[in-house]
């Protein structure tokens, strides 16, 4: 059997080329490439960017600039606007709010102070009235006042004379008798020793006044310290005479 070599003719090659050019796959690829290129250029134009292709690589040169208006916003302003009127209205609002806040703060502070103040029953016990006509001359009575002992002595004429004529140089805490009483006959003292707070005994001691047995402090008939560790005289509480025979302890004149 003879071998036969077959070559395609020029005509047949031309037909084959035409058939390839009419191939739908090739045409679709070209169409997609064209669409992509158009899309890239369109996007670059919208963003204001320039795309330069070189050796399959591209660079972006950004040229987009955002500008803000520098002119006055007169277009957005209301017409016939008086700045003084707006300022006065603002001051009125601020002043009214400040006054309201100040009033609320004042009421709150007064409420707190009112809660801290003593109640009416406590105030009633804070002041006591004493009938002096029930105390004989030369005697001392002890009354409880604000949880502390209160000494009230009806002094005799001899006791008054002794207290008033005592030299101040003999007193550790110098004080005149006239400065410690409202009337010479009546001496009102707080019965607490000025050393460590003990209660002195009446009509005791070297000076016939008060004596503290805890540490040996002696007080005279004016309640002044004469001997012992106590540094000060017995305290005089606030009191006033309502009439000749009644005093109120806890209220000053």
Residue showing tokens 């000060």: 232
Closest of 232, 192, 187 to residue 214, by C-alpha: 192
- Tally Cβ neighbours within 10 Å of residue 1: 3
- Tally Cβ neighbours within 10 Å of residue 16: 11
- Residue among 11, 215, 218, 246 flagged as catalytic: 215
The partner residues of 145 in beta bridges, in order of sequence, read 148
H helix or E strand, kind and range, residue 217: strand 217-219
Contact 146, 125 (CB under 8 A): yes
- Tally Cβ neighbours within 10 Å of residue 168: 10
- For this structure, is 215 an active site residue? yes
Instruction: Report the catalytic residues.
Output: 215
């Amino acid at each position: 059997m003879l071998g036969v070599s077959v070559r395609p003719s020029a005509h047949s090659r031309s037909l084959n080329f035409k058939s390839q050019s009419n191939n739908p796959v090739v045409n679709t690829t070209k169409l997609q490439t064209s669409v992509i290129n158009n899309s890239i250029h369109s996007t670059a134009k919208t963003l204001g960017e320039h795309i330069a292709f070189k050796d399959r690589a591209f660079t972006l040169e950004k040229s987009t600039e955002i500008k803000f208006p520098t002119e006055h916003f007169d277009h957005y302003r209301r017409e016939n606007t008086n700045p003084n009127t707006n300022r006065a209205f603002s001051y009125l609002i601020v002043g009214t709010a400040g006054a309201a806040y100040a009033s609320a703060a004042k009421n709150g502070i007064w409420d707190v102070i009112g809660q801290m103040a003593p109640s009416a029953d406590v105030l009633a016990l804070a002041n006591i009235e004493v009938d002096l006509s029930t105390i004989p001359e030369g005697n001392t009575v002890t009354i409880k006042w604000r949880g502390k002992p209160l000494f009230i002595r009806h002094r005799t004429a001899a006791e008054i004379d002794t207290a008033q004529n005592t030299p101040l140089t003999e007193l550790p805490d110098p004080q005149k008798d006239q400065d410690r009483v409202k009337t010479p006959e009546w001496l009102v003292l707080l019965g607490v020793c000025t050393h460590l707070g003990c209660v002195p005994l009446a009509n005791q001691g070297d000076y016939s006044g008060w004596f503290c047995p805890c540490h040996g402090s002696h007080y005279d008939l004016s309640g002044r310290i004469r001997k012992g560790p106590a540094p000060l005289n017995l305290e005089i509480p606030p009191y006033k005479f309502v009439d000749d025979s009644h005093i109120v302890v806890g209220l000053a004149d």
